[in-house]
């Protein structure tokens, strides 16, 4: 079992910055081989959840077009943590942000999600 705990959301003015953090913890006797990839998604009420940024254990990244050049994803493999530095925030970035990962085990692949953290950007 993998638990993801996010932190760092909040209220910020347009043009400001926030950093989201997500720490993964493994419980039980699950044989987690690796967490790959790790990433961030966001969702606005009434809309589908969208992938914001993901990063592999090797450091390969992929970003949503609308956040390229403004957001930076990074991870600390030793701490099983992933971060999202968000700069030049816009009101349209307002959403609940979720941390997610895919756990590779001997029994197969399992996706896990955090509880979400609200990011609100005021104009």
Task: Give the pLDDT confidence of 20-38 residue by residue, as tens digits.
Answer: 999 999 876 667 778 889 9
For residue 122, what are its two tokens? 């005021």
What separation, in Å, do the N-terminal and C-terminal C-alpha atoms of the chain show? 40
Please answer whether residues 51 and 71 qualify as being in contact, where contact means their C-beta atoms are separated by less than 8 angstroms. no
Q: What is the mean pLDDT of residues 86-108?
A: 95
Residue with the bigger pLDDT between 30 and 49: it is 49
- Model pLDDT, residue 28: 67
The beta strands (E) that lie in the chain are given as 2-7, 10-13, 18-26, 32-43, 50-55, 61-63, 71-76, 81-86, 95-105, 108-113, 117-122
Could you tell me the pLDDT band of residue 106, with boundaries at 50, 70 and 90? Answer: confident
- Model pLDDT, residue 30: 60
Whether 4 has a pLDDT exceeding 90, the answer reads yes
Whether 1 has a pLDDT exceeding 90, the answer reads no
């Amino acid at each position: 079992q993998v638990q993801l705990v996010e932190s760092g959301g909040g209220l910020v003015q347009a043009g400001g910055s926030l950093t989201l953090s997500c720490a993964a913890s493994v419980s039980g006797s699950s044989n987690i081989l690796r967490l790959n990839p790790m990433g961030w998604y966001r969702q606005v009420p009434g809309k589908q959840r969208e992938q914001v940024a993901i990063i592999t254990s090797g450091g390969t990244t992929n970003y949503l077009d609308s956040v390229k050049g403004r957001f930076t994803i990074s991870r600390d493999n030793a701490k099983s943590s992933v971060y999202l530095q968000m700069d030049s925030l816009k009101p349209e970035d307002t959403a609940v942000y979720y941390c997610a990962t895919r756990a590779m085990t001997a029994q197969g692949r399992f996706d896990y999600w955090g509880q979400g953290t609200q990011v609100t950007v005021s104009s």
